[in-house]
Amino acid sequence: MDHYLKANWHSQTPETVLTHFGVELGQGLSSEEAQKRLATSGANRLTARRGKGPLLLLLAQFHQPLIYILLFSAATTAFLEEWTDSSVIFGVVIINAVIGFVQEANALKAINALAQTLNISSNVLRDGQRRSIAAAELVPGDLVFLQSGDKVPADLRLLQSRELKIDESALTGESVPVEKQAQTLPSATLLADRANMAYSSTLVSYGSALAVVVSTGDNTEIGRINKLIGSAEPLETPLTLKMSQFSQLLLWVIIGCAAITFAVGVWRGETMLDMFMASVALAVGAIPEGLPAALTITLAIGVSRMAKRNAIIRKLPAVETLGSTTVICSDKTGTLTQNQMTVQFVQAGSEIFEVSGSGYTPDGEFTNHNQAVDPSLKPALLECLKAGLLCNDARLIADTDNWRIEGDPTEAALLVAAHKAGLHQASVSGDHPRLDAIPFESAYQFMATLHHNLAEDARHIYLKGSLESLLQRCDKAFSADMRLVPLDKNGLNQQAEAFGRTRLESPGFCAR
């Protein structure tokens, strides 16, 4: 199936792609055909780079210029029967090797454990039936169902799409979910703009779709990146470069001093044997055998502190490189940050409320003029938060030790803010079942949902979106006591600009 690999699937119609892979839209592949293709294309997983075995990993700890000098000095002092000095130097070398070996072995173990967590399952159509299989069993031509919260298991050509948005930050670094559709695109369309393609390792944040697998394993875009990383030459850190230069300089200085001492002693009439012994003693004494141990212990402490912050350091010298970094440049939210949006201010009923807390943990309080506020006593605030909760397609999920979201980060921030006020998604949605919805479109900059308010037996439309799009559709607002009053559009625009100048998140504006 090598002819599957280089086609520009985004520039071909869905019908052409299905014909090429010999699959029917309502039937999918047969189990027998899937097994044949699996034997040909291989499992849908990235080829792991072959690492060093335990013995090579241990021997690599001795592959350092300064360690060579220490080993030479240990051998020399042993030859001279200076057993105490020889034992101390050799002990330093062994301790250095053991610490480096344990650290790198633990890092590799952690990385392998992390890779195991990436094993996922996929919903596919086979033999005319929808079934769940391991993603590793996917083959080119499989029909895959995608929905919110799914991880894309392979490179896919979209066949049908319903309001699909995919977080492609793992591939492109772009943290904002990308809107997808199934329409054919020009052949010259760049990878990041191929809206009819879904790529392996990306995450579905919204909507649903049906797609056909076009590439698996190492033939995916993420697999190509993996190959490039595997072929990259390892670079030395500034610390290892400086230590190598220092070791070479030290070696020549010690040899030079020993040679001068030997020559001067012989010139003054000393015996060659005595001067040789004196020169060797000088060389051994000049070697800083405590330097590797001090460096290793210092770096090990740094690695330990990084590990407590959930940062995996594979090689000890990398800690020094990270510690000496003075400027980090990044142009993408989510590359160095956690990409967790947080509501910090809410304007409702002509009042401004500050919201504490960060991330997706629903812990925080509302304050007004630095005074704590009970949201249940602020009906306009509750109504605004309710709008953000109901006009929302994200989900807030409580795991064992943290909170996570499924869906768009901005919508998740609105959910978290509502939870902080005691409005929970399940109960509020139960009291206001959704009847219909207008999904968010970039051309209109808003989303609307229709709900049945069971308590009032009335239908309400909740709307959320950009300030500009909503102000065009509103002429009244709720006051603090929920009376309808004329909408102060200029005041809202000025307040939005004020929030923008503080470099904080702009407040959401919700209307009913």
The catalytic site residues sit at 331
**Residue 437 CA to chain centroid, in angstroms?**
32
Backbone angles phi, psi at 223, to 5 degrees: -70, -35
Give the Cα separation of 212 and 23 in Å (integer). Answer: 9
Residue type, 506: S
Q: Name the residue among 120, 150, 126 with its Cα closest to residue 139.
A: 126
**Of the candidates 357, 354, 337, the residue with the CA atom closest to the CA atom of residue 346:** 354
Per DSSP, the chain holds a count of helices (H) and strands (E) of 16, 19
Residue 457 CA to its chain's centroid (Å): 45
What does the block give as tokens for 262? Answer: 């030997």
CA distance 275 to 269: 10
Spell out the SS3 assignment of 94-130: HHHHHHHHHHHHHHHHHHHHHHHCCCCEEEEEECCEE
CB-CB contact of 145 with 44 (8 Å):
no
User: Which of 112, 57, 168 lies closest to 312 in space, CA to CA?
Assistant: 112
Question: 3-state DSSP call for residue 436?
Answer: strand
Chain centroid to CA 26: how far? 36
| Distance from the first to the final alpha carbon of the chain | 55
Helices (H), 345-488: 379-390, 409-420, 425-431, 467-471
Q: Which residue has the tokens 């044949």?
A: 36
State phi, psi for 398 to the nearest 5 degrees: -95, 115
Q: Quick one: tokens of 397?
A: 């999920």
Q: Which residues, including other chains, have CB under 8 Å from residue 96's CB and lie 6 or more apart?
A: 61, 67, 292, 293, 296
- Residue 423 Rama label (left phi>0; alpha psi -120 to 50; beta): beta
Residue 66 CB burial class (10 angstroms; 0-12, 13-18, ≥19):
buried
Contacts of 278 (CB under 8 A, 6+ apart): 261, 262, 265, 270
Between CA 288 and CA 257, with CA 244 as vertex, the angle to 5 degrees is 50
